[in-house]
Amino acid sequence: MEERKVALVTGATRGIGKAIALELADNGYDIVLNYRSVNDELKQTQKEIEEKNVNCFLVYGDISKFEDCENIAKQAIDEFGRIDVLVNNAGITRDGLIMRMKKEDFESVIDTNLTGTFNMTRNIVPFMIKQKNGRIINLSSVVGITGNAGQTNYSASKAGVIGFTKSLAKEVASRNILVNAIAPGFIETDMTKVLSDNVKEAILNQIPLKRMGEAKEVAKLVKFLVSDDSKYITGQVINVDGGMVM
């Protein structure tokens, strides 16, 4: 019998990360679910994954800390002996105009979204090289392409993720590791719930499909990017944004 594949998803307790973990579980992957906060959402997500008859291994870790990512990778490998897919999903926003943005707000966003992506990838790639295969999917954002007033920190981090993705794709292609980025537009999660009605309306006006996206619509792209159907695709940034950025 073929061994089950394993996917590690960071920040997978809620939002897009949860939808990705569920989608991969639906496709028969055992899940390494990285979390930072212990709460009911964590238990609920674990339950929903296990109901799909796959293993769900919970690993605590703050991805902005290199040593936490070392530990996440070690625990995942000790448990399953393989990692086929890494989804660098965990991310935060600390929005504000530059004149009011605190240095800590700039640094925490870069440390989580960009350095966190490095921290996790740096600790997983050696195993993928040994396996001679792997898929890495990094969550960027359309604002990493277009920029956005009030998000210098976030846009810089997500533009950084794009440069990171393309460089890594070139480095590890010969090892049969594919690396791509997804740039979601405006997706319905806790991250966008906090926006005011005025801001939401202004954003909706920029979306040709005239609605917010659903987390599972991002997860469907991940499903494609880990499948055999995408084995000639690497170093790409694919938007899931209802046509917001063309």
Ligand X SMILES: NC(=O)c1ccc[n+]([C@@H]2O[C@H](COP(=O)([O-])OP(=O)(O)OC[C@H]3O[C@@H](n4cnc5c(N)ncnc54)[C@H](OP(=O)(O)O)[C@@H]3O)[C@@H](O)[C@H]2O)c1
Instruction: Write out the catalytic residue numbers.
Output: 154
Is residue 45 a contact point for ligand X (CB under 6 A)? no
* Residue range at the interface with ligand X (CB under 6 A); choices 79-87, 120-128, 182-190, 197-205: 182-190
Q: Exactly one of 14, 46, 73, 181 binds ligand X (CB under 6 A); which one?
A: 14
Is residue 16 a contact point for ligand X (CB under 6 A)? yes
CB 26 within 8 A of CB 53: no
Nearer to ligand X, 102 or 130 (CB): 102
> What count of residues does the chain have?
246
* Residue range at the interface with ligand X (CB under 6 A); choices 11-19, 23-31, 96-104, 197-205: 11-19
The nearest distance, CB 3 to ligand X, in angstroms, is 28
Rounded-to-integer distance, Cα 61 and Cα 2, Å: 30
The nearest distance, CB 204 to ligand X, in angstroms, is 12
Rounded-to-integer distance, Cα 236 and Cα 157, Å: 17
Rounded-to-integer distance, Cα 94 and Cα 118, Å: 20
CB 76 within 8 A of CB 29: no
Which x/- pattern over 130-149 shows residues binding ligand X (rule: CB under 6 A)?
A: ---------x-x--------
Is residue 112 a contact point for ligand X (CB under 6 A)? yes
The nearest distance, CB 231 to ligand X, in angstroms, is 24
150 exposure class (CB count in 10 Å sphere: 0-12, 13-18, 19+): middle
Is residue 242 a contact point for ligand X (CB under 6 A)? no
Indicate the helix (H) or strand (E) that contains 167: helix 152-172
> Token match 């679910």: residue?
33
Rounded-to-integer distance, Cα 217 and Cα 195, Å: 21
Which residues are at the interface with ligand X (CB under 6 A)? 10-11, 13-17, 34, 36-37, 62-64, 89-92, 112, 116, 139, 141, 184, 186-187, 189-192
